[in-house]
């Protein structure tokens, strides 16, 4: 159940709508959406999937990007709540993973093994078109959404779709395709950067993602820009972790 105040909700919706700015970065934006939804719902994991031109759902952002969770998003190309939400344009809520084996055999098993108890998916809609879905995982029984919660989260998913596509700027289908391709390609840059950092520092790709995201935040830089810099600039590749000395971390953590 969502217990946020009206003020908190208003703040989130303003943040979601505020995309017509020069500093807009599609990767940061997609991650921000997943984090706001996780914050609102208390869900342990939230992810976003977008459909490519052939209708394949691609994972583009998650509150966490560990291998187990990413696999849960990826298998939904074949089956799962996101695919259902994407196809029907309707939210899938309060699906109990304990009894979902008939509906989604592979997904339900993987999700249950990962420790999740329930799952929800909200289609990302723009007028009649569905471009993807937001995926929310629950860890506790009884964390079900009521009708109001569902309506609120669906409104948030729809607002995020408009924001992501910057649809207010120009209302034409071609722009939608352009933006969608841009979002999907940005995701590929992150994967390449994860590999580069993992190799350069001898760490896993999960930790590499955290390092990249933390570096971007600490230095107030766009995620796409940092990821791209990691590919082209070996010095930045080193700095992403090198700057994480205890001294600097402590200085940065100070309020």
Partner 1 sequence: MIRDSIQAVPSSPGTGLLHRVVAAATGALAASGAGVSVMTESGERGVYAASDPLTERMEEMQFVLGEGPCWDAFTLRRPVLVPDLDGESPDRWPMYRPAAWDSGIRAVFSFPLQMGAMRLGVLDVFRRRTGSLAGEELATALAFAEVTMTALLDQHEEAGTGAADGLLDAGEHRAEVFQAQGMVMVQLGVPIAEAMVRMRAYAFAHGRRLDEVARDVVARRLDFGRDRS
In the complex, the residues that contact partner 1 under the rule CB under 8 A are 53-54, 58-59, 70, 74-75, 77, 173-175, 177-179, 181-182, 185, 188-200, 205, 227-228, 231-232, 237
- Give CA–CA dist 109/214, Å, rounded: 32
Rounded to 5°, the CA angle 15-17-23 comes to 75
Which helix (H) or strand (E) element contains residue 75? none
Q: Which residue's CB is nearer to partner 1, number 88 or number 192? A: 192
Q: Which residue's CB is nearer to partner 1, number 26 or number 152? A: 26
Least distance in Å: CB of 192 to partner 1? 4
Least distance in Å: CB of 45 to partner 1? 17
Q: Which residue's CB is nearer to partner 1, number 88 or number 181? A: 181
- Give CA–CA dist 239/233, Å, rounded: 10
Least distance in Å: CB of 144 to partner 1? 30
Q: Give the residue carrying structure tokens 């992150």.
A: 190
Q: Which residue's CB is nearer to partner 1, number 37 or number 183? A: 183
Least distance in Å: CB of 63 to partner 1? 17
| Residues whose CB is less than 8 angstroms from the CB of residue 90 and which lie 6 or more positions away in sequence, other chains included | 123
Least distance in Å: CB of 223 to partner 1? 13
- Give CA–CA dist 72/95, Å, rounded: 15
- Give CA–CA dist 238/246, Å, rounded: 16
Q: Which residue's CB is nearer to partner 1, number 8 or number 68? A: 68
Q: Which residue's CB is nearer to partner 1, number 58 or number 144? A: 58
Least distance in Å: CB of 199 to partner 1? 4
- Give the residue from 158, 167, 122, 128 showing the smallest Cα distance to 20: 167
Burial 119-148 (b: 16+ CB within 10 A, else e): bbbbbbbeeeebbbbbbbbbeeeebbbeee
Cα diameter, the chain: 53
Least distance in Å: CB of 189 to partner 1? 4
Q: Which residue's CB is nearer to partner 1, number 121 or number 226? A: 226
Cβ proximity of 134 and 97 under 8 Å? no
Q: Could you tell me what percentage of the chain is helix, strand and coil, using 3-state DSSP and rounding each to the nearest 5?
A: 60, 15, 25
């Amino acid at each position: 159940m969502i217990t946020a105040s009206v003020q908190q909700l208003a703040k989130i919706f303003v943040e979601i709508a505020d995309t017509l700015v020069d500093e807009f970065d599609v990767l940061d934006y997609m991650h921000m959406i997943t984090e706001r939804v996780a914050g609102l719902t208390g869900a342990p994991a939230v992810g976003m999937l977008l459909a490519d031109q052939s209708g394949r759902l691609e994972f583009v952002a998650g509150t966490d990007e560990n291998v187990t969770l990413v696999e849960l998003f990826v298998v939904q190309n074949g089956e799962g709540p996101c695919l259902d939400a994407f196809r029907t344009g309707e939210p899938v809520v309060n699906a109990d993973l304990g009894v979902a084996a008939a509906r989604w055999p592979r997904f339900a098993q993987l999700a249950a093994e990962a420790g999740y108890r329930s799952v929800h998916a909200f289609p990302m809609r723009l007028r009649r078109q569905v471009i993807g879905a937001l995926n929310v995982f629950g860890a506790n029984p009884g964390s079900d959404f009521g009708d109001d919660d569902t309506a609120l989260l669906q409104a948030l998913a729809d607002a995020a779709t408009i924001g992501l596509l910057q649809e207010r700027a120009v209302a034409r289908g071609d722009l939608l395709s352009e933006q969608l391709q841009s979002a999907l390609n940005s995701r590929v840059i992150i994967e390449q950067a994860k590999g580069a950092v993992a190799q350069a520092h001898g760490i896993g790709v999960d930790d590499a993602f955290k390092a990249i995201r933390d570096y971007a935040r600490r230095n107030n830089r766009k995620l796409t820009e940092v990821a791209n810099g990691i590919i082209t600039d070996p010095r930045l590749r080193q700095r992403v972790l090198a700057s994480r000395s205890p001294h600097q971390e402590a200085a940065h953590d100070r309020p």
